[in-house]
């Protein structure tokens, strides 16, 4: 860790707090009050990375009615893996070169800023912006970090993280907090020595940096023994995606990538810290706090690419969950850094094998496991949700390769086996036990988003947007967006209406899936459904009586006693309300089904009304 003086930093914080408040929205008194959690403030919504939304207008009873509202063709073909954010009724998104603001209801562009590259981009990828104090912060594929005015898109400052010709670029979305912007450098395979860097949010001045592969003589450099890869090369340890942060402890949790050469671990004996780690640093100083390593001395490119998440389990115990390309979700106790549970969420071979020149088969392959969107957490269900890629590979090593800074330092080659598939897993957040799982026909790389409405949003590389019942895993809705879903899937509220937005049309190193054009797609419930929900005060006995007389009285009569000596009014003494609702939905013979599957939102409300009427019938 290298620490730089922080003169005037307090003044910078003050100017952020006082000088940038003008970016806050002007409240329209005619608009409904924005609910708690109505914005989507960062890549994983909140600093802890849980991705959970308290919105519940879209729920298990009406999810099937969700439909497209608008879409925006972003123009740039290629990688589209960005995490969208929505702040004060404005959406922000990125491509490899562009940052733009748009109306999150109409998809109309408000402003657009294009980066003028200052050097060749070795890998044109960007995963989104951070928002802080009226400013947006993002990395670039020519090795810079930039700040933009969130209202106008005006460039405010730029700073270099390294030499892009050597592969030192920023692909992940920064984290911005307390006047600091924190980023990490990629790409491991290009021979970088990965590092995490903090900048002053106002000036762009570097505050501190930490090398994810210790330089010779630094603490834990002995975990790289007898190797030119740390002595003269970079060693890898790039960071691909986003970070998590705990404001109460000032700890930042960084997912660190693989060591190099990827497939010849014998040429870099030792654990190779801090590669394949959840690396925990002091966000204010960059000092090392602790780490947890998923795969020491990795030889299969089983790194940690996705941001870990922070949560408290059902007993109030603080946990970290990390999904790796090793195919597991690791649950770690923050108090003692010990592993609590380790659950496979795709096809995994054990024991782990080492590549040979002749080749070995192993699962997951380098493109498998959990990629750049990690676990999410639902506090109501106490469950973790994660998407993964099921793709095995043939690994072939090439011993004796030498460091090639800016080249491709894999130490071998790999070939995928079969067709890639995907999974969505629901896990008990205490034990890691599998609650349910869904096998998708294509890779699941998108963000997975649970909500208070009891629904889970996600998508696959075939371009299918999906809504699940969070509790059961039942698929409630699926629709083709026209392009691979490999970025953020977010939800937010504007004007009393809940929306879901996603990036569709990714074409990148993931290789797999629908080849649509990069597009932002926004969906919501139809206005008529939203209006009905706004005026609906809950189940209504009067409406229920009318519905009973229409649908049920044909057999039971309007007095409820005209079928087979059954007195409907007596039902309330034998059943609970929920049991009666279930009976109406799924009747026992010879009772006919009055509401055929699949039920829509109107059917669900009518059944609740009928049950309410019966339970109140005198």
Model pLDDT for residues 487-511, shown as the tens digit of each residue: 889 999 999 999 999 999 876 554 5
Look over the chain and give the mean of its residue pLDDT values, rounded to a whole number.
89
| Residue range 354-359: mean pLDDT, rounded | 97
Percent of the chain with pLDDT over 90: 68
- In this structure, are residues 554 and 597 in contact, taking their beta carbons and an 8 Å threshold? no
Q: What's the pLDDT at 89?
A: 96
The CATH fold of domain 536-616: Cytochrome Bc1 Complex; Chain D, domain 2 (1.10.760)
Q: What's the pLDDT at 21?
A: 35
Q: Does 78 have pLDDT greater than 70?
A: no
> Using CA atoms, how far apart are residues 49 and 323, in angstroms rounded to an integer?
13
H or E stretch covering 228: helix 228-231
Percent of the chain with pLDDT over 70: 92
- The predicted-structure confidence for 122-152, as pLDDT tens digits, reads as follows 888 899 999 999 999 999 999 999 999 999 9
Q: What's the pLDDT at 175?
A: 97
- The predicted-structure confidence for 233-257, as pLDDT tens digits, reads as follows 789 999 999 999 999 999 999 999 9
| Residue range 449-478: mean pLDDT, rounded | 97
426 falls in which pLDDT band (50, 70, 90)? very high
Q: What's the pLDDT at 536?
A: 64
The domain locations on the chain are: 536-616
- The predicted-structure confidence for 171-196, as pLDDT tens digits, reads as follows 999 999 999 999 999 999 998 899 99
Please count the other Cβ atoms lying within 10 Å of the Cβ belonging to residue 124: 18
What are the strands of the beta sheet with 455-459, ordered from one edge?
449-450, 455-459, 464-469, 475-480
- The predicted-structure confidence for 279-330, as pLDDT tens digits, reads as follows 999 999 999 999 999 999 999 999 999 999 999 999 999 999 999 999 999 9
**More reliable by pLDDT, 572 or 362:** 362
> Using CA atoms, how far apart are residues 141 and 115, in angstroms rounded to an integer?
10
Among 16-20, 349-353, 429-433, 504-508, the range with the most confident prediction by mean pLDDT is 429-433
> Using CA atoms, how far apart are residues 291 and 308, in angstroms rounded to an integer?
12
Q: Assess whether the previous peptide bond of 261 is cis (omega < 30° from 0).
A: yes
7 falls in which pLDDT band (50, 70, 90)? very low
- The predicted-structure confidence for 525-552, as pLDDT tens digits, reads as follows 999 899 888 776 678 787 888 888 888 8
Structure tokens at 555: 């057999």
What Rg do the C-alpha atoms of the chain give, in angstroms?
Answer: 26
Q: What's the pLDDT at 540?
A: 79
Phi, psi of 368 (to 5 degrees): -100, -170
Nearest to 501, CA basis, from 489, 513, 511: 489
* CA separation, residue 262 to residues 366, 392, 413 (Å): 9, 16, 9
**What's the pTM value of the predicted model, to 2 decimals?**
0.83
**More reliable by pLDDT, 172 or 618:** 172
9 falls in which pLDDT band (50, 70, 90)? very low
Give the burial class of 76: count Cβ atoms within 10 A of its Cβ; 0-12 exposed, 13-18 middle, 19 or more buried: middle
Q: What's the pLDDT at 104?
A: 97
- In this structure, are residues 154 and 161 in contact, taking their beta carbons and an 8 Å threshold? no
């Amino acid at each position: 860790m290298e620490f730089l003086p922080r003169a005037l930093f307090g003044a910078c914080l003050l100017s952020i707090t006082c000088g940038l408040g003008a970016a806050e929205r002007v409240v329209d008194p005619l608009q409904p009050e924005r609910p708690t959690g109505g914005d989507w403030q960062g890549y994983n919504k909140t600093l802890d990375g849980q991705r959970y939304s308290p919105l519940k207008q879209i729920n298990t009873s009406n999810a099937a009615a969700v439909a497209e509202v608008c879409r925006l063709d972003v123009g740039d073909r290629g990688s589209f893996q960005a995490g969208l954010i929505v702040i004060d009724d404005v959406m922000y998104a990125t491509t490899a070169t562009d940052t733009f603001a748009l109306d999150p209801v109409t998809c109309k562009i408000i402003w657009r800023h294009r980066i003028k590259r200052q050097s060749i981009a070795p890998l044109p990828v960007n995963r989104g912006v951070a928002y802080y104090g009226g400013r947006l912060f993002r990395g670039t594929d020519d090795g810079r970090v930039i700040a933009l005015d969130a209202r106008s898109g005006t460039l405010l400052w730029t700073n270099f993280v390294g030499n892009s010709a050597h592969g030192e670029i920023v692909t992940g979305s920064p984290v911005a907090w307390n006047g600091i912007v924190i980023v990490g450098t990629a790409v491991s395979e290009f021979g970088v020595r990965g590092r995490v860097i903090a900048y002053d949010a106002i000036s762009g001045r570097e505050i501190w940096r930490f090398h994810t592969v210790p330089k010779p003589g630094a603490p834990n450099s002995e975990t790289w023994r007898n190797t030119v890869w740390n002595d003269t090369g970079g060693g890898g340890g790039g960071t691909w995606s986003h970070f998590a942060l705990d404001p109460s402890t000032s700890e930042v949790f960084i997912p660190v990538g693989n060591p190099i050469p990827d497939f010849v671990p014998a040429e870099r004996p030792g654990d190779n810290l801090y590669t394949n780690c959840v690396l925990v640093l002091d966000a204010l100083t960059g000092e090392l706090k602790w780490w947890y390593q998923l795969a020491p001395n990795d030889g299969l490119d089983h790194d940690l690419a996705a941001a870990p998440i922070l949560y408290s389990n059902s007993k109030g115990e603080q946990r970290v969950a990390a999904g790796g390309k090793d195919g597991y979700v690791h649950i770690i106790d923050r108090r003692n850094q010990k592993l609590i549970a380790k659950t496979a969420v795709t096809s995994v071979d054990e024991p782990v094998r080492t590549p040979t020149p002749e080749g070995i088969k192993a699962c997951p392959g380098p493109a498998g496991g959990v990629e750049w969107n990690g676990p999410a957490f639902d506090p109501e269900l106490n469950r973790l949700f994660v998407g993964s890629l099921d793709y095995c590979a043939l690994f072939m090593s090439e011993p004796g390769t030498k460091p090639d800074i800016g080249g491709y330092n894999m130490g071998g080659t790999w070939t995928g086996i079969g067709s890639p598939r995907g999974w969505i897993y629901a896990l008990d957040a205490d034990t890691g036990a599998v609650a349910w799982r869904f096998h998708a026909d294509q890779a699941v790389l998108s963000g997975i988003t649970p909500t208070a409405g009891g629904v889970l949003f996600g998508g696959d590389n075939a371009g299918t947007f999906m809504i699940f019942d969070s509790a059961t895993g039942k698929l409630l809705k699926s629709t083709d967006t026209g392009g691979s879903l490999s970025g953020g899937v977010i939800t937010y509220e504007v004007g009393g209406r809940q929306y879901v937005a996603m990036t569709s049309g990714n074409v990148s190193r993931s290789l797999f899936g629908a080849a649509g054009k990069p597009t932002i797609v926004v969906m919501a419930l139809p206005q008529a459904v939203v209006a009905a929900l706004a005026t609906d005060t809950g189940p209504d006995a009067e409406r229920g009586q009318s519905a009973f007389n229409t649908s049920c009285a044909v057999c039971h009569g309007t007095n409820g006693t005209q079928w087979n000596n059954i007195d409907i009014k007596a039902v309330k003494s034998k059943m609970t309300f929920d049991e009666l609702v279930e009976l109406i939905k799924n009747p026992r013979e010879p009772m006919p089904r009055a509401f055929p599957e699949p039920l829509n939102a109107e059917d669900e409300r009518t059944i609740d009304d009928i049950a309410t009427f019966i339970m109140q019938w005198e």
